[in-house]
Amino acid sequence: MNVPSPVYLDNHATTRCDPRVIEGMLPYFNETYGNAASTTHEFGRLARQAVDDARRRIAACLGTTADAIIFTSGATESNNLAIQGYLRRLGRSGHVITTAVEHTSVLEPIEALRSAGFPVTILSPVPDGASDSGRVTPEAFLAAVRPDTVFASIGLANNEIGIIQPLREIAQICRDRKIVLHADATQAVGKIPINARELGIDLMSFSAHKIYGPKGIGALFVAPRSPRLRLSPLMLGGGHERGLRSGTLNVPGIVGFAIALELCCHELGPESTRVRTLRDQLYTILKASLGDEISLNGPALEPPDLRLPGNLNLRFQHIDGETLLLHLPQLAMSSGSACSSTQARPSHVLLALGLTEQQARASIRIGLGRFNTHTDIQTAAHLIVAAAQELLHAAGRLG
């Protein structure tokens, strides 16, 4: 008997590889399989051309030039390279600003630098209850700046509550004060329009597997021709990627990354409208059926530029998130950040909004994406309402 696979609603954790991406990658496994650094022969030269071409196309999607793109294994490595690579190279201590809602691959390297003597300010976001809950305002950022501030790391879009931060304004503050600004844009690239030059950031991390590309390939944008931006590599070796990231290039991954990003950029307008409509429909049905039993974590759904189009983070009044997920094996969702779901701790992002541990545990994250359909939404709404009503009934909350 065929058991239908669950409906995938966890697109912030990762996405299904687009068939067009897979097709474009295939020749680079068994036909054009040369090492892109072995340019003494045709195999290597063709691989090199594919990498150069992919680099140019990725750069074009982000409004920059090819020399600004350093390939890595993913956003975790890009975040580490930006933060540790810049601050360790600085050769002196300096004040660092970040926010309490960053991904652990930003917070952990910053904590390590704090232990090494860098003073750190971790900004709290606008708390739960406000329409811009999760936002770090330019005013709050400015108030944290000190004469010795050298570096800031602010995520462009959050992987749990979907808040989109006012990075352009923050970048202006940084530029005026010669503070290097890093943005973790892993959840934002391909989902909202980004022009790195216009945004005015210095460093930006992103990853292919969040945009319907393959896992294990990411990039760090390093603003071109900026004399301030000298980074130390995390790994020493053959000196690939201008000495910043040694290691044989993942040619199929890089080719797939470029196709994935181009598809996102070409389809961005209609896709984000479609995904946002599905998200809003799901929320409307759930709210109509469950009323005050659910509320939204993070920013309001309107205006649309506050929140990623596919993101929904719901808090239940009287139901534990993990218990609800156990009752919903037909739906693939998350009870918090996938990256922290191996830990029993409640989400640090939800706690940073001022939620209690119990409220954080009573929350689920839904991430809609390219391959979700209207039927998925109907199915998900029906199943969530049924499971929630059953649990409420069992808890004596429903007659």
Contact positions vs ligand PMP (CB under 6 A): 74-76, 103, 105, 155, 159, 184, 186-187, 207, 218, 339
**Cα–chain center distance at 77:** 13
At closest approach, how far in Å is the CB of 138 from ligand PMP?
Answer: 20
The count of residues in the chain is 399
At closest approach, how far in Å is the CB of 147 from ligand PMP?
Answer: 30
At closest approach, how far in Å is the CB of 385 from ligand PMP?
Answer: 28
For ligand PMP, the closer CB: 180 or 183: 183
Residue 339 annotated to the active site: yes
CA dist 375 to 7, 276, 342, Å? 10, 15, 31
**Cα–chain center distance at 96:** 21
CA atoms within 13 A on the CB side of 293: 23
CA dist 170 to 131, 142, 331, 358, 372, Å? 20, 8, 38, 33, 34
Burial of 179 (0-12, 13-18, 19+ CB in 10 A): buried
Percentages of the chain per state (helix, strand, coil), in multiples of 5:
45, 15, 40
At closest approach, how far in Å is the CB of 103 from ligand PMP?
Answer: 4
Q: Give the Cβ contact number of residue 234 at 10 Å.
A: 16
Distance CA 201, CA 167 (A): 8
For ligand PMP, the closer CB: 34 or 252: 252
For ligand PMP, the closer CB: 32 or 363: 363
For ligand PMP, the closer CB: 24 or 162: 162
At closest approach, how far in Å is the CB of 323 from ligand PMP?
Answer: 24
State the residue number with the nearest CB to ligand PMP.
Answer: 74
3-state secondary structure of 165: coil
3-state secondary structure of 203: strand
For ligand PMP, the closer CB: 268 or 338: 338
**Active site residues per annotation:** 339
